[in-house]
Chains A and B, each alone.
Chain A
Amino acid sequence: MYLWKDLVEESADFQLDPETLHTNSEESLASEVHSIDFVYSQGQSYLLLGMRHGYMISCKLVRHFNDKDSLDFTRIEAQANKFGQSQVEFITATHDDFEECQGTYERSRAFVKSEYLWQISLQDGELRIDEVLFDDIRTVG
């Protein structure tokens, strides 16, 4: 997994921990990243990784500007959620879907499907996961 701050100059990388995925060698494909999304709000940032076999890995990131006015990332914790058996796919609009909040731009929501449709939202620095139903939203974790 590579985080590209700049295409030529620098990159950051980290290895996904199999223990985070609760998988064994027979499920090696579960550790393959299928889709990527990103949410941030009020200074909190999460990288969201959709995996092959129903897992979503959320990595809480610390970002700060370095001397080159580019961004540095530090992964401080990662958590796995399992939605189902199928691959986890983020549903992403292709236009800028930032929300303006108190003079700054934020992106606090993402949608993901893995057999069912889910909404990932960043509220008060914590990720909230809701299953999206047509007539209601049910909190699942």
Chain B
Amino acid sequence: MTYNETKFLHWSSSTSRLNSPIWSGDFEIDDITTTYSNHFMLSEPTLATSCVANHILQVTPSGIYLNNVFRRQMGSHQRVVQASVMGNDVIWVVYSDPGEWILWCVSFLLDDSVEGDVEGTISYSARQTQLLSEPTAIRLVHFR
């Protein structure tokens, strides 16, 4: 991403990273942005991204997008200012005029119990809480 747009870059190396071999540092970078032009918000910077249940999750200032599965767009007086993602969980902070910060947390769950060729469905649970002031950084961490 840049400050005002999103690009998809494919990094590849002829050296396998399995078993931790000494890496030459040689790699190729291909711009594959046009491949995803119909599915993602490319005209905005990406604040956070992850692979969730074989879908690409994208968080931008205008909303949270998970292909055609999940979409939550901000209102005209709102924007996402911070985001962090870890696995199937994502948190983000929404700024609303005239000065309110809301922390959202969404956990995605893939139901892969469906048999046959039908893809599993994705459900989610969401929570929110109001922050007392503007956060300068947020970070989602998992404990196992």
Q: Which residues of A contact B (CB under 8 A)?
A: 4, 7-8, 32-38, 50, 63, 71, 94-96, 98, 104-105, 134
Cross-interface CB contact of B144 among A33, A34, A105, cutoff 8 Å: A105
Asked if B143 is at the interface (CB within 8 A of a chain A CB), the reply is yes
Q: Is the CB of B85 within 8 A of A94?
A: yes
* Residue pair A36, B139 in contact (C-beta under 8 Å): yes
A8 touches B139 (CB 8 A): no
Interface of B with A (CB < 8 Å)? 25, 48-51, 85-87, 103, 105, 127-129, 136-139, 141-144
B127–A8 contact, CB under 8 A? Answer: yes
Among residues of A, the one whose C-beta sits closest to the C-beta of B127 is: A7
**Would you give the shortest CB distance from A122 to chain B, in whole angstroms?**
14
Q: Are B137 and A38 in contact (CB-based, < 8 A)?
A: no
Please list 14 pairs of residues, one from A and one from B, whose beta carbons are closer than 8 Å in the complex, sorted by A's number: A7-B129, A33-B137, A34-B136, A35-B137, A36-B137, A36-B139, A63-B143, A71-B143, A94-B48, A94-B50, A95-B50, A104-B144, A105-B144, A134-B25
CA distance A89 to B114 in the complex (A): 42
CA distance A134 to B142 in the complex (A): 31
CB distance from B107 to the nearest CB of A (A): 11
B103 with A7: CB separation less than 8 A: yes
Q: A34-B137, A36-B137 are in contact. Are A94 and B49 (CB under 8 A)?
A: yes
A96 partner residues in chain B, CB cutoff 8 A: 86-87, 142
In the bound assembly, the distance between CA atoms of A38 and B17 in angstroms comes to 25
| In contact, B105 and A7 (Cβ under 8 angstroms) | yes
List, in ascending order, chain B residues with CB within 8 A of A71's CB. 143
Smallest distance from the beta carbon of B134 to chain A beta carbons, Å? 11
Q: Which residue of B lies closest to A40 (CB)?
A: B143
Residues of B within 8 A of A4 (CB): 103
- B25 CB contacts on chain A under 8 angstroms: 134
Q: Which of B127, B142, B143 has the most CB of A within 10 A?
A: B143
User: Nearest-CB distance from A83 to chain B (Å)?
Assistant: 17
Contact of A38 among B85, B129, B136, B139 (CB under 8 A): B139
A33 to B139 CA separation, bound complex (whole angstroms): 11
B136:A95 contact, CB within 8 angstroms: no
Residues of B close to A134: CB separation below 8 A? 25
**A38 B141 Cβ-Cβ under 8 A:** yes
Let me know if A33 and B136 touch, CB within 8 A: yes
Q: Which residues of B contact A50 (CB under 8 A)?
A: 137
